[in-house]
Chains A and B, each alone.
Chain A
Amino acid sequence: MQCQEFEAVLEQIDGRPLSADAAAHAAQCRSCSAMAADLELIQTLAHELTIPETEPPDRIWTQVRAQLEQEGIIRVPATDARAEKQGAGWFAGIFAWVRRPALVATYAGLIVLAAGLAWEKSIPAPDTASDIAAIPSIHTQDNLNQLEAQTVSDLQASNPEINATLRRDLKIVNNFIAVCQKAVREQPQDETARQYLYGAYQQKSELLAAALAHSRTGE
């Protein structure tokens, strides 16, 4: 199986396990394997954030698309644009024209995460300390850490000075997240600490998105 065929399979997979052929290809191809992992991560994010819709709303995809087009990551040709008007999904266009699928997946992940954080902010404070375990922020932190690892790994080849800056700032945000988490654990009713915690998650998400965007300057 070739990469192009694998991408076509991935488009249609919709949460089902990979076929034997596709799994064999993914095992050999690092790029396709990373793409499959990214998509799985996005699906996990969407579920863990318990957004009422299984799929992000259209406006989220519209934002993802606008961002990707602006960044030059995707270019939808006129023929695809026509097809889209006829009802074809734009996501197919991305896979046809994407230059860096892992980056697309990360962008999508960040935007889904941001949407999830906005939703989380509206959740009232838990009534009891035991409810804390149910706060999705713990999963959010795990997901953000995964995205951080992926982003930092993507940046390894770019400007080392900027990488150092980025790592320093991520450390600052991570430290602040840790402080807020401690405050929330100690005082579950502390609405202020919760708000700062969610704000810090959002800051981290935005910082990662900015890092990705800047890493592409001049390409």
Chain B
Amino acid sequence: MRTHKFRFLVNPSARTVFAAVALSAALAVPALAHPVEKHFAVDGRPIVILRNANGRIQLKSWNRPEVMVIGTASSNSVSIDTEQVGSRIEIETHIVNQSARGADLQMDYQVTVPEESQLQIRTDSGSITVASVHGDLTFDTLAADVNLQDVGGTVTVTTADGSVVCTRCDGNSFHAESVSGNVQLLQPIMDQITVHTTAGNILFDGDFLHHGLYYFKSDTGNTEVHFGPASSFDLTASSAHGAVISQARLQPDKHGRNIRIPKTANALFGTVGAGNAKVELYSFSGTIKILNRDQTANVQ
């Protein structure tokens, strides 16, 4: 039986070159991302403050009296600073190398908190995902998207470019402000919702709660409201230079409201059902659609 031994014949000088190339390649590869895990024992309803520059932030709840933080840095240019004072936990991405740019500044976080925690999250870019946290939540971003699911308390989102999606948000109130980010509220159970955006679009799909106050204003973007068949609300919808399209069966206002609608604007106002909730929709040049969820397919 013949065996074939393959052998690379390389002269010594070439070997040296290969070794040099291999070494420089190894040095050029950034340090492997290794997660840093920290645990903080807390009582009651902790306040978790997180400040990041860029990266994915995922927060969820558990039933332990503990906050767990796992941070994964993309490079050695950033590190995690944490501090605990009583039930206040502060987590901050520290830029070690001030000359680092872009992706080198990325820090991803996975944070697990008690369900009733209060959160104050601030980041420039990346994304924020929060599930099942029911304390007061504050988010402040420039370009990071904010995705909230089954959250509660008072929710405040301020963003320039990031989009905001709130699915089954159940709490006291929701307030969102953006420049160009879209805002979507899907099946919310909140009786005070305020959204203002300069150029983003607004989508509300859900039922207006009795005695709820809903204020949506998109200066130049479009606003779409999908309401359920049992909805009962007083409506004011006005777009100075855009269209207002409605499937709502409006009756003359039942509550004697003094509504000031500009003569030149396209506007609708009146009452649906008993008019329990108050819904105000405003735009300067965007289109406003008020659609019955059951008939949404008929109007596009």
Contact = CB atoms under 8 A, between A and B. Distances in A.
Contact of A166 (B92, B160, B219, B285): B160
Interface in B144-160: 158, 160
B78 interface: yes
A127 to B, nearest CB: 18
Contacts of A196: 219, 240, 284
A192 B101 contact: no
Interface in B219-265: 219-220, 240, 262, 264-265
A60 B78 CA distance: 35
Given A187-B264, A196-B240, 11 more contacts: A159-B102, A162-B143, A165-B142, A165-B161, A176-B219, A192-B262, A193-B284, A203-B179, A211-B160, A217-B52, A218-B92
Interface of A: 159-162, 165-166, 168-169, 172-173, 176, 179-180, 183, 187, 190-193, 196, 199-200, 203, 206-207, 210-211, 213-214, 217-219
A168 B161 contact: yes
A13 to B, nearest CB: 34
Between B101, B179, B285, the greatest number of chain A beta carbons within 10 A of the residue's beta carbon is seen for B179
A199 B102 CA distance: 33
B108 interface: no
- 8 tightest CB-CB pairs across the interface, nearest first? A218-B95, A169-B179, A165-B143, A192-B262, A165-B161, A169-B160, A217-B53, A196-B284
Contacts of B199: 172, 176
Nearest to B141: A214
A70 B61 CA distance: 27
Chain A interface, >50% SS class: helix
Between B125, B160, B180, B199, the greatest number of chain A beta carbons within 10 A of the residue's beta carbon is seen for B160
Contacts of B94: 218
B198 interface: yes
Contacts of B51: 217-218
Contacts of A183: 240
Interface string B104-144: 01000000000000000011110000000000000010110
Contacts of A162: 124-125, 142-143
B142 A160 contact: no
Nearest to A197: B284
B240 A192 contact: yes
A214 B95 contact: no
Contacts of A218: 51-53, 78, 92-95, 105
A159 B142 CA distance: 12
B54 interface: yes
Interface size class of B (residues with CB under 8 A): 35 or more
A173 B142 contact: no
Nearest to A170: B179
20 contacts: A159-B101, A159-B105, A165-B142, A166-B142, A168-B161, A172-B180, A173-B179, A180-B284, A196-B284, A203-B179, A203-B198, A207-B160, A210-B160, A211-B142, A213-B140, A214-B124, A214-B142, A218-B52, A218-B92, A218-B95
Nearest to B81: A218
Interface string B198-228: 1100000000000000000001100000000
Contacts of A206: 177
Contacts of B78: 218
Contacts of A214: 122, 124, 142
Contact of B102 (A161, A180, A211, A217): A161
A160 B124 CA distance: 12
Contact of B179 (A190, A191, A207): A207
Contacts of B101: 159-160
A207 B140 CA distance: 11
Interface string B61-104: 00000000000000000100000000000001111000001100
A190 B95 CA distance: 49
A193 B52 CA distance: 38
B22 to A, nearest CB: 32
Given A169-B179, A196-B284, A217-B93, A161 B160 contact: no
Given A159-B125, A169-B179, A219 B262 contact: no
A169 B179 CA distance: 6
Nearest to B260: A191
B265 A192 contact: yes
Contacts of B95: 218-219
B116 to A, nearest CB: 24
Contacts of A203: 179, 198
